[in-house]
Structure 1
Amino acid sequence: MAEPYAEQHSEPSPAPYRERASRLTGAVVWTRTAVPGDAAPVLPDGCMDLLWTEGRLFVAGPDTRAYASGTDGPGGARRYAGVRFFPGTAPSYLGVPAHELRDRRVDLADLWDGGEVRRLTERVDAAADPAVALEAVAMGRAADAAAPDPRLRAVVAALSSGAAVAPTADEVGWSERQLHRRALVAFGYGPKMLARVLRLQRALALVRGGAAAAEVAVVAGYADQAHLAREVKELAGAPMGVLLRR
């Protein structure tokens, strides 16, 4: 079953988008069809994704700013499928530190054996349901990999609840320096940046639920409504009102 966090991903796109819980703990499987002119932003959420589109497998690294998706292909509709890993788990499965992929989209063949990736790409391309086939790729890789450190989930839980970095480090038994080093590998950036990203997702969830901006600022842990507005603009690339209209 997916973690509650999985429901707090980026702003829904104007093109058809569907997601479901993955059989891989904490992960989400999603599909989307991008149409010409569709530049739906993918907002920072602390996650990494394994993605497929016709003839290509690639990885989306952890974002520190909004990424405009669906604009890098040829004309006509383009299908996408993805497995969005729970924050901090993808590096164990993919075999690459998250900070090396920060704000990047990288072909899987640059990370894994090229021949293997070609075979996997052909298998997903030929599948009746590419999302199911892609999920099988992710699960097969996870089965052969060492399990992610469970303390990373504790870090996500603490920071998601609004805890500061120092008590979070104490809770998991690391120094602040150790936490920072491990966060770079697992999440792609330090715990302070991760906390900002998780707070943004918390604020967006509250706004979608109908809360007023002033209430959101208090509940989500911002200093005031102006602080909320600045953070949304910096991380999401647009004011809250624009995001909601999308």
Structure 2
Amino acid sequence: MRGDDGGVSALVPHTVPAPLRPLVATAVGYRAPAYPARVHRGLPSRHLTLVVELLGPLTVRGLGETVSAHGVVGGLHTVPALIDASRPQEGVQYALGPLGARLLLGIPAGELRDHAVGLEEVLGPEAARLVERMAATPHWPARFRLLDEALLRRLAGSRWGTGWAGPAEVGEAWRLILASEGRLPVVDVAAAVGWGRRHLGEQLRRATGLTPKEAARVARFEHAQRLLRARRALADVAVEAGYADQAHLAREWRALTGASMTTWLREELPFVQDAAGPGGARSVS
């Protein structure tokens, strides 16, 4: 696709090595022209984000302190991440599940809630060397291989076990919430794993950064996004995604994206569908 500034967008999908597949939901390379609105909204999702931006530092506002770095890790959040997209971008983006954050980054996902941090805060001096080596090659396979190898080393040297940062009930609750697209009541999720609601809330937030209610909210929101990208009517989206009505959907949309649905549809939908910059390929997020 040719962007407004004459640049060419590209999205390069990648399949990570087998040991990483339970931990990395998607992996893509991206090349995108400057975004006309200049600021892209990275939306709430079930995935943490690891971005290595090779043309220049990636600046992210709205999640804790502003971060500007070639490598950025973003935790789960319920507010939009404001990404500077005023210039062309090129790099690699991996979407991690909460368990991936723990085993590959060495940080429980709960500690990254509503935060974006520079990759060096996670990987230390290795982050700068990794970015430098990835930027030195124009070939996508080599770029992916360098990041995969870095993550495989982290996995091999992880001091954590192979399970969730807590009892197995946490992982099952997370699975149930997402599988139901946020429709399963929290009391039913708690009953299914044999816990009380309060205990489930504490454990899930510690492991993922989201409470069961917030996780359901994000899952429902993701479902609504998929329906919108399929060009479904707003009234149908509201019903199928589990909102009380279209007004409820509109209120939630503004709360989670920082924009009205009309603004998002005009400014963001073409970018999310067609461009491949950070946030666009994932959200998504």
TM-score (norm 1): 0.79
Which of 164, 167, 172 aligns to 1:154? It is 172
Secondary structure of the 1:210 match is coil
Q: Deviations over 1:107-165 (max 9, x none)?
A: 122233x3333333333333433234223322332344332336544333322311111
Residue 34 and residue 186 in structure 1: after superposition, are their counterparts in 2 closer, same or farther (change >3 A)? farther
Q: How many residues align?
A: 229
1:92: which partner in 2? Answer: 103
Determine if contact 2:14/2:144 at 8 Å carries over to the other structure: no
State how far apart, in whole Å, the 2-side matches of 1:76 and 1:214 are. Answer: 36
Structure 2 residue corresponding to 1:222, chosen from 243, 246, 249:
243
Q: Does 2:133 correspond to 1:123?
A: yes
CA RMSD after TM alignment = 2.7
The letter for the 1-side match of 2:112 is L
Match of 1:174, SS state, is coil
The aligned counterpart of 2:45 is: 45
Tell me the equivalent position of 1:62.
Answer: 76
SS at match of 2:39: coil
User: Which protein, 1 or 2, shows the higher relative CO under an 8 Å CA cutoff with sep ≥ 6?
Assistant: 2
Write the distance in 1 (CA, Å) between the matches of 2:12 and 2:194.
38
1:69-111 CA distances to partner (integer Å, 9 max, x unpaired)?
Answer: 244xxx8523221111135532332122323322322112223
Query: Within 2, Cα distance between the matches of 1:157 and 1:227?
Result: 25
TM-score normalised according to structure 2 size: 0.69
> Which residue does the alignment assign to 1:209?
230
Q: Which moved further from structure 2: 87-96 or 156-165?
A: 87-96
| 1:227 to partner: Cα distance | 0.6
- What letter matches 2:126 in structure 1? E
Q: Which letter maps to 2:115? A: R
Unaligned 5+ segments in structure 2 are 1-7, 58-69, 269-285
Contact kept? 1:181, 1:190, Cα under 8 Å: yes
Q: Of residues 136, 142, 161 in structure 1, which corresponds to 2:155? A: 142
The verdict on how the C-alpha distance between 1:135 and 1:69 changes in structure 2, with shifts beyond 3 A counting, is farther
Amino acid at match of 2:76: P
Q: Is the 8 A contact 1:17 1:33 kept in 2?
A: yes
- Indicate the residue corresponding to 1:107 in structure 2: 118
Match of 2:271 in 1: none
Decide whether the 8 Å contact of 2:170 with 2:200 is kept in 1. no
Cα distance 1:238–1:185, how it changes in 2: closer, same or farther (>3 A)? same
Deviations 1:217-240 (A, max 9, x none): 222111111111100111022233
Query: Is residue 78 from structure 1 mapped to residue 89 from structure 2 by the alignment?
Result: yes
Q: Is the 8 A contact 2:14 2:29 kept in 1?
A: no
Residue-by-residue CA offset, 1:18-51 (whole Å, 9 max, x unaligned): 4445342252112233544542221110211222
Contact in 2 for aligned 1:50/1:57 (Cα 8 Å): yes
Could you say what secondary structure the match of 2:125 adopts? Answer: helix
The answer to which of 200-209 and 165-174 deviates more is 165-174
SS in 2 for 1:136: helix
Native 8 Å contact 2:41 2:82 kept in 1: yes
The change in CA–CA distance for 1:28 and 1:97 in structure 2 (over 3 A counts) is same
> Counterparts of 2:150 and 2:112 in 1: how far apart (Å)?
20
Identical pairs, percent: 31
Q: What is the CA-CA distance between 1:242 and the residue it aligns to?
A: 3.0
Partners of 1:230 and 1:109 in 2: CA distance: 37
Match of 1:235 in 2: 256
